[in-house]
Copies of this chain bind each other. A is one copy, B any other.
Amino acid sequence: MVIVGAGFGGLQAARALGKARNVRVTVVDRYNHHLFQPLLYQVATAVLNPSDISAPIRTVLQSRNTEVLLADAKSVDTHRKVLVVEGGEIPYDSLVLATGASHSYFKHPEWAEVAPGLKTLEDAVRIRERVLAAFEAAERESDPVRQRQWMTFVIIGAGPTGVELAGALSYMTRHAMPKDFRRIDTREARVVLLEGLPRVLNTYPEELSERAKRDLEELHVDVRTGAMVTDIDAESVTFGNERIATRTVLWGAGVAASPLVRSLEVPLDRAGRVQVTPLLTAPGLNDVYVIGDVAAVAQRGKPVPGIAPAAMQMGRHVAKTIRCRLANKPLRAFRYHDKGSFAVIGRGYAVGLLFDKWRMSGFPAWCVWAGVHIAYLIGFRNRASVMLNWGYTFFTKGGRDMRLITGNVLKRMPALAVSLQAPAVSPAPPARPELPASRPAPVH
């Protein structure tokens, strides 16, 4: 059998089949690593390292019956039963499509360039680089209007990704960064969170949305609901009658399923997902399973959410179905067990639902969230390193050494280089106000 995509769904399916003697598994992915996507925003906000939240697929899947292949899947030929990849074809008897989703820019693909989304490690590193570089530019800039523009950050979409990014970004500017700069006060940075719907975290109960909004505002995030964005360019974002001058726009809205499933020629929903059967197969294709964010599954009239635990349950269910089929045992329909979902607002704050029943918020919700995430992280090393980094960040108000721009950002962002004015760097006294006395003195 062939599994496409080594995210949460694909990896669980491969692991659950790793001990089966009568099955050979080939896992195809275009990246060499499995990514713990729920913590991606912490890489983007310079709290964690890329390697803290990823593990080489080959290392995770070392069963003798499992092969891993770095390849870009292009389409599925269901008649000939082959997966077409760049440069070749892979025949399958059963196929599991677990290729995930990316953000949807609705009808504005041109926004992708100015407003990057957060789905891959590359995205996270690029966002980190843009945010850090914006402060570097603000420090160089002598014109206060343009300085303000560099220090304004707009995040579009107040789902979990947008909320977590906004909270972490605001926290970073207020706690981890102020001591690093001489001419700007990073605590004056403005973080704006725009949401087209009437409330943040709209899949959560209304009460938790309210709480999340309040907590974000306490973290100095400017939350605007009912704000439909009509234009984005390199210098601003427009919504309603308002225009915000900014150099950094981040995108966390919409869901678009991976385009690979289009080649199945089965009905798709508006987000491009396959409406699967109770066995998680594509309609009319008994040997093609579709799981995770590319599958649209409804249960008691409610859609199963596009989160990691749901994808993992689907992966395990497909493995079970395949084993039952080989053993001629009866098959069972997929049932989603909702263990809960959480969104982090800031350091020590979260909101969420445990077992789809108990509403939690504040520090207790954060503790549940942190415990679950550490427990789920794959591989001992990752866990130790994440705990080290988190512990350090928690006790020092922001990590020191992750604020790393790997490359020559001046080459990649030419806009950074044009704003320097001689007076901005002449030996004048520091322009920014003193830090309050309660904060530790700068390290000498």
Contact = CB atoms under 8 A, between A and B. Distances in A.
A24 B427 contact: yes
Interface in A403-419: 403-410, 416-419
Interface in A110-140: 120-122, 125, 132-133, 136, 139-140
Given A30-B408, A64-B430, A180-B56, A18 B444 contact: yes
Interface in A63-84: 63-64, 67-72
A67 B125 contact: no
Given A49-B49, A392-B381, A70 B408 contact: no
Nearest to A57: B180
Interface in A262-308: none
Nearest to A132: B32
Contacts of A91: 422, 426
A417 B32 contact: no
A430 B26 CA distance: 12
A120 B405 CA distance: 12
A99 interface: no
B55 A401 contact: yes
Nearest to A25: B427
A86 interface: yes
Contacts of A416: 70
A405 B68 CA distance: 15
Residue from A399, A400, A401, A430 with most neighbouring chain B CB atoms (10 Å)? A401
Given A26-B425, A443-B62, A381 B399 contact: yes
Contacts of A71: 140, 410, 417, 420
A381 B406 CA distance: 18
B401 A51 contact: yes
A62 B381 contact: no
A387 B185 CA distance: 35
B125 A180 contact: no
A90 B388 contact: no
16 contacts: A32-B133, A50-B404, A51-B404, A55-B401, A59-B180, A59-B403, A64-B442, A71-B417, A72-B410, A85-B417, A90-B422, A90-B425, A120-B407, A379-B401, A381-B392, A382-B401
- A-B interface, 10 closest residue pairs, ranked by CB to CB distance from nearest: A88-B420, A58-B180, A24-B427, A70-B136, A62-B442, A86-B417, A87-B417, A87-B420, A122-B407, A32-B405
Interface of A: 18-19, 24, 26, 30-33, 49-51, 54-56, 58-59, 62-64, 67-72, 85-91, 120-122, 125, 132-133, 136, 139-140, 179-183, 379, 381-382, 384-385, 388, 392, 399-410, 416-422, 424-427, 430, 442-444
